[in-house]
């Protein structure tokens, strides 16, 4: 069973190298045809994020009742909310740093550096990884 976990872990690490994929997309599409939304931003304000998406797609704004329903819907963590160990977080931060720097440069948006303030509550915006 360990080999399956390691394989899945490797896939997770590779799939999270967003700059690699964004660079490919930008080689085909102009920047103004690509909208990248951070999960943190979506979970922090789902209705506004959906309005931003609808505007980007040149769709009519969400009706107020639907925007309210989106905002009040449950946030589901399908992975069960395991806490990340400090050592794991340090390793992942170091691993992803150059890729996040490239992503921030590609998108011209420093939010993609994921340099969150100390004490930021990750519990409602992302899944955690246990080591």
Instruction: Note the pLDDT of residue 127.
Output: 40
DSSP readout, 45-58? Answer: -HHHHHHHHHHHTT
Contact (CB, 8 A) for 37 and 52: yes
pLDDT in tens, 66-75: 888 888 877 7
Residue 107: which of 115, 97, 99 has the closest Cα?
A: 99
- Of the chain, the percentage scoring pLDDT greater than 70 comes to 75
Number of H helices, E strands in the chain: 6, 0
pLDDT single digits (tens) 13-63: 888 899 999 999 999 999 999 999 998 888 888 889 999 999 999 999 989
HSE toward the beta carbon, residue 58, CA cutoff 13 A: 2
* Stated pTM of the model: 0.70
C-beta atoms surrounding 100 within 10 Å: 20
The beta-strand segments (E) located in the chain are none
Checking if the pLDDT of 130 tops 60, the result is no
Rounded distance between C-alpha atoms, residue 62 and residue 48, angstroms? 10
Q: Where are the domains of the chain?
A: 1-34+83-131, 36-75
Of the given ranges (4-8, 62-66, 120-124), which has the lowest mean pLDDT?
120-124
């Amino acid at each position: 069973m360990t080999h399956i976990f390691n394989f899945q872990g490797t896939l997770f690490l590779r799939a999270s190298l967003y700059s690699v994929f964004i660079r490919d997309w930008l080689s085909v599409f102009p920047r103004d045809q690509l909208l990248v939304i951070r999960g943190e931003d979506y979970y922090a304000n789902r209705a506004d994020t959906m309005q931003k998406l609808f505007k980007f797609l040149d769709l009519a704004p969400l009706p107020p009742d639907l925007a309210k329903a989106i905002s009040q819907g449950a946030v589901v963590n399908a992975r069960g909310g395991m806490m990340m160990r400090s050592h794991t977080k340090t390793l992942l931060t170091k691993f992803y740093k150059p890729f996040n720097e490239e992503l921030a440069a590609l998108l011209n948006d420093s939010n993609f550096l994921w340099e969150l303030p100390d004490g930021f509550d990750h519990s409602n915006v992302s899944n955690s990884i246990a080591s």
